[in-house]
Structure 1
Amino acid sequence: MATICTHLIDSNVNLPSQYSLIYKDECTACFDNDKCGNGIDVCLSCFNGGCSNDLMNHSNTHFIKTKHLLSLNIKKNLKTSDENEPAAKITKLEISEQDDEKMEKKYETIVRIKCHECGLLDESIQLPDKVEKSKSLVLSSLSANKKSQVQSWAPSITDCEHMSKIEFKSAESIEKNNKMCFSCEKTENLWMCLECGNVGCGRKQYDGSGGNNHAISHYEQTGHKASVKLGTIEPNGKADVYCYICDENRTDPFLSGHLKNLGIILEDQTKTEKGMSELELEQNLKFDFSMVSEDGKDLKPVCGKGLTGISNLGNSCYMSSVLQCVFSIPAFIERYTKGYEYHNLSCNTLLPASCLTCQLYKLCDGLNSGHYASVPGGFNRLGLSVYGIKPRMFKDVIGKDSDLFSQMGQQDAGEFFTYMLKSIDHSENILNNSSNNPTSVFDFYVEEKLQCTSCMNVSYSKQISSLVSLPLKSNNLDPGSETLSVTLEECFDKYSENELIEGYNCPTCKSPQSVLKSTKFASFPKILAVHLKRYEFVNWVPTKI
């Protein structure tokens, strides 16, 4: 460990702001995390996170590319347990996100300043003020992954007309202790009325937890329009604000003034409680799957190359199913295995987390290397019990331009498949790599035929596609049964049969006519992706078959 470093003063160290993305819990170029090997090196110039293990050492790759000298090494070691009880038999496969506070109790965090020229620095070295402050801010800030989770779960919250109509009523209740509900002894989930300063506890939950409804009772008694959740107020004006008239979470453009009337200075506030989006995130990430098949047989855990699972990110099954299928295809494996190191060094994007191609390389390694999978009770190459990967960075970069896929709602796998292929195709074209574009294995042409029933004139058109959507034949539903029996051949027959369309403007007849429309394959792909249409219109209402 180095005791002298001449680069501390001259290095380009930056201070992260509240908007900075700090990748401190997982490498941006692979799925190694702060509990693996030598931990994660967080660059103190751009806050990229890189693994420092001997196998890949993406931290060093980042240094070679950027010449950013200083980083903060974060390593978490599992604390030795005093209990020697045997592990309980695993009967359920849990795909969940553990609470950060519980996780911190299990691990000891060791941090060191690292110079890429001198190595890890001894703790005795006096750090310059800027380096010390940067280190402190990196450790105290939310990680980029956590910020992404909260942001994607957050609903689209807008302001409303009622915020501008809030009138300050009285200052009497401000003198009371605002750390406790005025009507009971609850000290958590407290909401302060923006009109009079009354503090009331939140709503009672279905399981008996939560508050005693005193905040909403105050609204029912007084008609005061809105309240703010104490502990969620940030100096930048963000806070959980609820409008009782709209019965929705709202933003308050006038929050600073409203709080000032109550004797609270916005700039002096510090967030101390989880907001509604963070609480919703925790609930939605708790999934629990029985390790028993439908016929009652035990499922046998497997691991190895190509047998790595994808952990639930919250309503992300549509994405996981598509990724598992796509990265089992040789064309994708070959494309995103070869040239991994070269791309990391030559990539024009500073941070791998912001580059789709970097994240595709990362995904391919995560799913097919076997490094991130171990059977229950076993260990992977890093000495950890790992049951899958969490491709949050991929989801962020693939969904950044999509209102659908940037959020955490349930989505259609077929829609995501076509959206992902278009995104990859665009990325490959930018890299001038069209000859090695793996998405081409799905490409085929469909031919559409239109025949006028009056003049019998025929027109043809072709278009390229990567997915065929087949209709289900709902008339095969057995009477009195909920089971639909249909063959794939029947679905293709229905797909290619003639369809009568009314009101088509025939170019020959020069008037609206009935036409017969049919769709055929003009060419075939190397791999055919099939999507089943599980909805049909009944009385103009989409109904699931």
Structure 2
Amino acid sequence: MAPCLHTSAPDLLPPSASQAVYREDCTQCFDSIDDEPGLNVCLSCFNGGCAGPRDHARLHFERFGHPLALNIKRRHKNIQREEPPQKISKLAITAETDEDRYDTSTQVVCYICNEDNIDKSSGELQVLIDGVMSATTFSKKEEIKAWEQEFVPCEHTISLVQLDPKKVESQDFSHCSMCDLKQNLWLCLICGNLGCGRSQFGGTGGNSHGLSHFDATSHAVAVKLGSITADGSADIYCYRCNEERTDPSLATHLAHWGINLAGREKTEKSLMEMQVEQNLKWDFAMTTEDGHELNPIFGEGLTGLSNLGNSCYLSSVVQCLFDLPEFQRRYHHPGEQPPFSDMPAADFETQLRKLADGTLSGRYSRPDKNALACRESHEVLHQRGLAPSMFKHLVGRDHPEFSTMRQQDAFEFLLHVFKHVTLSKHPAGLDNPVDSFKFCIEQRLQCAKCNKVRYRLDEQDNISIPVPARRIGFADDAGHNILFEPVTFFDCLDVFTAEEIVDLRCSSCKSQERFSKRSSFRTMPAQLVINARRFELINWVPTKLDIPVEVNDEPIDLTPYLSTGPKLDEEILPDDETSGGGFEANAELLGQLLGMGFPEVRCEKALYLTGNFDMEAAMNWLLSHMDDPDVDKPMDQKQHPEKASSHTQDPVKIAQLNEMGIDDSRARQALAATGGDINRAIDWVFSHPDDIADSIDDPQPSSNPGEQARTPGFDTTPATYQLRSIICHKGSSIHAGHYVAFVRKQLPGKSGLSWVLFNDEKVVEVDDVQEMKKFAYLYFFSRV
């Protein structure tokens, strides 16, 4: 081993608890410690860089001058098949450690000395190495944070009052107090009653006797006995809130009933673990008609993404986006060095390029060699899949939903990605790929009395169309599963563009008259994404309807839905009068929201923050912000709420918005309009593209006054489109179940396009997707 003078540098300190250590995969590509060259972790800043042909570790040294790196290689241990499995004496669930699965080797590299085997005993080097190897990795740290914010205490767990054990009947903790079930048992923390839970995902039995106990006694808080661990973690459920919660005093509350945490072992899976497991097991026809499992395919553009636990919504969206030429041109640059960034793992541009390289290059599309060593002979060998943990953390950072480990809605996530991509900085010569989705919807209003019309153009990057529900019967005698008549894709578009009657006050004849209202396309995009709304609100809960929609693979002509704009003989309505230029809520939408029982202040705020034209967007805002502390704070005399306080915003939040390409003035304006909530501020900027901040904030014009805004999209005909990909969902709710993507690809040796199924890391060719197309959630069409 070679000595090295650089091992005694004063800045070589072990990582602190708050520092991220990237020792799993490269921050700029998906090469990892499992590859032959291993991964080089910088011993100054703990960045992970690949040591293979791309050599991002050396690039890191050249950019930052950090001399030392720890090369880490990991090899999967061979499983000795001739040895009998260890006998299990009792039911227990234990976590398998890396030491159980892998052999790991390390050596120190010095780029200045050009040595790759530095003496580890030099200076405090061994302490530093031990600190790196024992530190919680970046992906694990972020996963822990995501799980930790899943559940919080509630007033019922915090103010829990327990009964005196001497005054209640003693309990037999071996089975449910009302039946003989011995698993899925929930202890009432108030009175000590033991009741079985509800039947869970994964087949865990239950007769709901814990819930029955709550109905009879109003004792709300219970803990699942089999989930309790020695460190105090457990499933806590509040029946009154009807949510999973945490109990800050769990150890004390358990001791009250004679249960000591010391020595407790987890014997049953948690509710979240069972949900994740069930999501991974949804059957998406991974077999042929004769029962044989579909064979995996490998190559460029055929790389799967591993499930990080409820991340299938992310994987499906990514596969559809990076199949598009616009996203490939923007982010896939083979052979180019990655962009300079002080923190590659936290740089949006770097992570999107990493994701594009990983999914498109084909370098990682190969059978999992570790699975090859231990698979059964009859099993089909799939890819290992890439873990998009850095991208997931970055795109979901600080978002109340996408930063968690819960299942999310794929359509909402797609729009969230659109916002981040649009607001990010695009280098010269590289276009924003979301522009290819943009088009204009025309809203036409005509007064029934004076026949004058008004046109409004709304720029969009997606449409959400209703799927007409025509009930024809039930699938079973119990009447539980409703059958629906199949509809065509054109039926849905006909409903979307159909004329409707609304009541409005006419600005010309000053009468309260009926207006005809119709939506149509003024322009069409290069890439059209359509959300098929098969959900209806039942008691404010989105309930999925299984309505078949017939969509062909052949090109379809959408020209009939394209408007030519105002006609020569039409008389245009004058603009509505306003008082002092303040915000005036859309009268029609305001009336509808008020009729649903929402307070007027909230309705006006929802319309303002969602663009003042989209009923569904305003209602979604109201439902998702009901608990905001300032939701009932009136807007200042109907003036723009950002005018009064745009100077007093948090500079840290302004800096975060600056990183996304939002200038100081717009950042202050958005934060003021949304009460300082950075995620709502991003939404505000995205939904108010034409709002200009006060000149006192930004005295310089924001653009060249000679430049005219260009209407996005195409108005040429024919408007012909072909289905390119779909995202399908199985499950009763958009927040549960499983998402997969079907993408049409040109496969080697095939004359035409083939359908490819991306089911997380599993990538297979499928012959028939007619059934899947009927129930798809998102459709991606490309202009022919």
What is the TM-score normalised by the length of structure 2?
0.53
CA contact (8 A) 2:21 2:137 kept: yes
CA contact (8 A) 2:4 2:119 kept: no
Per the alignment, residue 117 of structure 2 pairs with 121
Which stretch of structure 1 is more off in the superposition, 419-428 or 533-542?
533-542
Per the alignment, residue 150 of structure 1 pairs with 144
Question: What SS does structure 2 have at the residue aligned with 1:445?
Answer: strand
- The verdict on how the C-alpha distance between 1:327 and 1:208 changes in structure 2, with shifts beyond 3 A counting, is closer
Alpha-carbon distance in structure 1 between the residues aligned to 2:275 and 2:11: 36
Q: CA deviation at 1:385?
A: 7.6
Per the alignment, residue 338 of structure 1 pairs with 333
Q: CA deviation at 1:375?
A: 4.4
Which stretch of structure 1 is more off in the superposition, 535-544 or 481-490?
535-544
Question: What SS does structure 2 have at the residue aligned with 1:121?
Answer: strand
RMSD of the alignment, in Å?
Answer: 5.0
Alpha-carbon distance in structure 2 between the residues aligned to 1:133 and 1:493: 69
Per the alignment, residue 454 of structure 1 pairs with 449
Per the alignment, residue 66 of structure 1 pairs with 64
CA contact (8 A) 2:157 2:247 kept: no
> Is 1:487 the counterpart of 2:488 in the alignment?
yes
Alpha-carbon distance in structure 1 between the residues aligned to 2:421 and 2:335: 16
Q: Deviations over 1:513-540 (max 9, x none)?
A: 3222111111121122222111246798
Q: Give runs of aligned pairs for residues 209-220 of structure 1, distance below 5 A.
A: none
Q: CA deviation at 1:160?
A: 3.3
CA contact (8 A) 1:164 1:254 kept: no
Per the alignment, residue 45 of structure 1 pairs with 44
Alpha-carbon distance in structure 2 between the residues aligned to 1:10 and 1:376: 41
Q: Deviations over 1:480-505 (max 9, x none)?
A: 6735422222222222111222x323
Alpha-carbon distance in structure 1 between the residues aligned to 2:465 and 2:531: 6
Alpha-carbon distance in structure 2 between the residues aligned to 1:379 and 1:254: 43
Structure 2 residue aligned with 1:421, among 418, 423, 430? Answer: 418
Letter in 2 for 1:60: R
Question: What SS does structure 2 have at the residue aligned with 1:62?
Answer: helix
- The verdict on how the C-alpha distance between 1:424 and 1:13 changes in structure 2, with shifts beyond 3 A counting, is same
Alpha-carbon distance in structure 2 between the residues aligned to 1:536 and 1:243: 28
- The verdict on how the C-alpha distance between 1:75 and 1:435 changes in structure 2, with shifts beyond 3 A counting, is closer
CA contact (8 A) 1:301 1:376 kept: no
Question: What SS does structure 1 have at the residue aligned with 2:59?
Answer: helix
Letter in 2 for 1:149: E
Q: Give runs of aligned pairs for residues 502-513 of structure 1, distance below 5 A.
A: 503-513=503-513
Q: Percent identity?
A: 32
Q: CA deviation at 1:412?
A: 2.6
Q: CA deviation at 1:59?
A: 1.6
Per the alignment, residue 319 of structure 1 pairs with 314
Per the alignment, residue 105 of structure 2 pairs with 110
Q: Deviations over 1:364-398 (max 9, x none)?
A: 11111111112477999xxx983422212111111
Q: Deviations over 1:458-495 (max 9, x none)?
A: 111112111122222223x5556735422222222222
Per the alignment, residue 360 of structure 1 pairs with 352
Which stretch of structure 1 is more off in the superposition, 114-123 or 274-283?
274-283
Tell me the matched-pair count: 493
Question: What SS does structure 1 have at the residue aligned with 2:486?
Answer: coil
CA contact (8 A) 1:241 1:252 kept: no
Alpha-carbon distance in structure 1 between the residues aligned to 2:123 and 2:265: 29
The gaps in structure 2 that reach 5 residues or longer are 84-92, 166-171, 176-183, 206-213, 257-261, 373-380, 476-482, 548-784
Alpha-carbon distance in structure 2 between the residues aligned to 1:108 and 1:522: 61
Per the alignment, residue 364 of structure 2 pairs with 372
Which stretch of structure 1 is more off in the superposition, 247-256 or 43-52?
247-256
Q: CA deviation at 1:145?
A: 1.2
Alpha-carbon distance in structure 1 between the residues aligned to 2:158 and 2:538: 43
Alpha-carbon distance in structure 2 between the residues aligned to 1:540 and 1:161: 24
CA contact (8 A) 1:240 1:249 kept: no
Alpha-carbon distance in structure 1 between the residues aligned to 2:112 and 2:145: 37
Per the alignment, residue 463 of structure 2 pairs with 468
Q: Give runs of aligned pairs for residues 244-255 of structure 1, distance below 5 A.
A: 250=245
The gaps in structure 1 that reach 5 residues or longer are 86-97, 171-180, 211-218, 262-268
Alpha-carbon distance in structure 1 between the residues aligned to 2:495 and 2:163: 66
Alpha-carbon distance in structure 2 between the residues aligned to 1:152 and 1:494: 40
Letter in 2 for 1:35: D
Alpha-carbon distance in structure 1 between the residues aligned to 2:164 and 2:397: 44
Q: CA deviation at 1:450?
A: 1.3
Q: Give runs of aligned pairs for residues 181-330 of structure 1, distance below 5 A.
A: 233=231, 242=236, 250=245, 283=277, 286-287=280-281, 289=283, 291-293=286-288, 296=291, 298-330=293-325
Alpha-carbon distance in structure 2 between the residues aligned to 1:276 and 1:459: 57
Alpha-carbon distance in structure 1 between the residues aligned to 2:271 and 2:20: 19
Per the alignment, residue 7 of structure 1 pairs with 6
Q: Deviations over 1:92-135 (max 9, x none)?
A: xxxxxx9962654332011223333233334563341xx43332
Question: What SS does structure 2 have at the residue aligned with 1:301?
Answer: coil
